[in-house]
Chains A and B, each alone.
Chain A
Amino acid sequence: MKKASVMDIPDVPKGQLPPHLELQRTRVLCGSDAPTHSEGIQYSGAYASMGIDNSLRLDDFCNKFRVEIIQLTEDEMEFDMIGIDASVANAFRRILIAEIPTMAIEKILMVNNTSVIADDVLSHRIGLIPLDVDPRLFEYLSGNDSPNERNTIVFKLHVSCKKSGPRITVKSDQLKWLPNGSELEMASPNPSAKPKSYTSFTCSQDSLPEFSNKPIGLKHEDIIVAKLGPGQEIELEAHAIKGLGKTHAKWSPVATAWYRMLPEVVLLEDVEGELAEELVKKCPVNVFEDIEDLATGKKKAVVANPRACTLCRECILKIESTGALPPEVLFSEAVKVLEDKCDRVISELS
């Protein structure tokens, strides 16, 4: 009697998952109350009983991975990454929000504040103002360092409202950049010694090649900082340093960054005629489109714009930058930060 191999039997799948399992493995389904199958089935032995190897090798990744950029402006970027897992997209989102360094105002030396806004509230508002400067040109300021031109940017705000004049609104464009460092002097115990300044700039930041063409300023000139009534005055000096979003949200380089799965809308049965027109009209974001079916002269609804749908193993990432770094640079920095983290986490024990 001839021995038949198990693989020859017609209903055993050879090397490919049956279609319903393939659907489960690669798509997140939207049920009526919650999404199902949302965890990626990454475990390499998951389909071992069917004889299918689920493990992903590096070459497979390189072959399947693609990036497509949908929109790229100065402040916003939207792009698709096809072939990566949700955990990688989430890691990028977390890093973009919290771990890319930026410059923001940290220390405020208050000389005079007679406005109705309290010192600390005013300082908090000034700290949140986004600065238009590339953080890669600066170094971190740690506890023991003295502030110098490589790690600090100094701004000055001096506004006063005349006693007889109308009320004025202090906007962020009144913050002036001081390329020579702090102008205030520290109180020194020895009255005859030369007074020390709060920052020790060895050369003016103006003279540095990066800043001579493009002076340091703020991204938005029209942010309202405070309002002054007659006779009130604000005089302060602000020092900006490099930091991470993890420490405080003012150092976050993005207004927000989010990702979602690319929706795939499948019509389970043909929708024709009047029903098709209704479907097209109902969708608020124009996902569907009418096409004329030439043979029968009836109209049929077709999915034309699945992206607009608000619910594949494909991920769309959207990044809105606050402006200091353009969004494509932000993403490259995010990949670098993730690589550095991986390197740090590799164990040296063997």
Chain B
Amino acid sequence: MNAPDRYERFVVPEGTKKVSYERDTKIINAASFTVEREDHTIGNIVRMQLHRDPNVLFAGYKLPHPLQYKIIVRIHTTSQSSPMQAYNQAITDLDKELDYLKSAFEERISRKLRRVDMEY
């Protein structure tokens, strides 16, 4: 009865931004990013990629409530980089890795299908 509509899990309503950013007043080089209409699928991957960056001191994500479809990603970095930079860098790196994964996979598949064709 109180559950929100299923399409709310991925449709961003008018007026709200997809990603918003809040700097932490008490700690330098720390920020929280609130991403609307996303869940563990993206959150866990971005968190893992942020951990691989040597400039990141702390990275974590959470879903404040399972019926509110948003994630909060918190990043602390060293003074050599800023949370914004770390976040953008992590996502661009992920993009490149996924591109490579896709091309490696497609090459494998085409090789396998060609081999199957040749057998017939």
Contact = CB atoms under 8 A, between A and B. Distances in A.
B6 interface: yes
B48 interface: yes
Contact of B45 (A53, A68, A72, A87): A87
Given A45-B54, A335-B101, A347 B21 contact: yes
A91 B41 contact: yes
Contacts, number: 118
B24 interface: no
Interface residues of A, number: 49
B44 interface: yes
Interface of B: 6-7, 9-10, 18-19, 21, 33, 35, 38, 40-42, 44-48, 51-54, 56-57, 84, 87-88, 91-102, 104-106, 108-109, 112-113, 116
B94 A342 contact: yes
A345 interface: yes
Contacts of B112: 69, 72
B73 to A, nearest CB: 9
B84 A349 contact: yes
A44 B45 contact: no
A88 B100 contact: no
Contacts of B41: 90-91, 94-95, 99, 338, 341
Given A58-B93, A95-B41, A347-B33, A65 B54 contact: no
13 contacts: A40-B48, A44-B53, A61-B100, A69-B108, A87-B44, A87-B45, A95-B41, A246-B10, A335-B105, A345-B18, A346-B91, A347-B84, A347-B88
A65 B53 contact: no
Contacts of A341: 38, 41-42
Interface string A66-94: 11110010000001010011011011001
Contact of A342 (B48, B95, B106, B109): B95
Contacts of B54: 44-45, 53, 55
Contacts of B113: 72
B51 A44 contact: yes
